[in-house]
Amino acid sequence: MNYWLCITNAENWEVVKNKKVWGVTDRHKNKISQVKPGDILIFYITKSYKVGGIMKADSEPYMGTEKIFSPTGFAAKEIFPNRVKLKSQIIVDKPINFKELVPKLKFIKNKKVWAGSLQGKTMRLIPKEDYETIWTVLA
């Protein structure tokens, strides 16, 4: 089992929660292609610096054609076609502050400039210990 930190905006987090699907652009298809059923996906919401919830992959990656995500920036014309179906694990009413977790997370090497560990990524593997740290705070 792998643990993934998925980076999304608030609008697309609503899509993930409501439709139970995660999608990425073609630029990141190699990452999502590594997701297997049972893998854990933790959702970090940009700009608010919050963790909104944890979900479990419920399918192999697949190609979707329905426009359900809200693209921004360089991906303005993308539909995030590389997708995986999800099952809810924990969805919190009040997302937790990611900044408070930074000192405890092993995958973040530079604690002062921690955002660099997330910049330019849509999803990244994290160690089981970091997942457990986040789970403990959310649960």
Domain segments of the chain as ranges:
3-138
Q: What is the pLDDT of residues 52-70, one digit of tens each?
A: 999 999 999 999 999 999 8
**CATH superfamily assigned to domain 3-138:** ph1033 like domains (3.10.590.10)
Residue 82 has pLDDT above 80, yes or no: yes
Exposure letters 84-95 (e unless 16+ CB within 10 A, then b): bbbeeeeeeeeb
Helices (H), the chain: 10-19, 29-32, 98-101, 128-138
User: Mean pLDDT across the stretch 113-132?
Assistant: 89
How far is Cα 47 from Cα 18, in angstroms, rounded to an integer? 21
Give me the amino acid identity at 81. P
Q: What is the pLDDT of residues 20-31, one digit of tens each?
A: 999 999 999 999
Can you give the pTM of this predicted structure? 0.92
**Would you state the structure tokens that stand for residue 88, as one six-digit string?**
């809810």
Please report, rounded to a whole number, the percentage of residues in the chain having pLDDT higher than 90: 73
Interior angle at CA 112, CA 108 and CA 115, nearest 5 = 55
**Would you state the structure tokens that stand for residue 42, as one six-digit string?**
């933790």
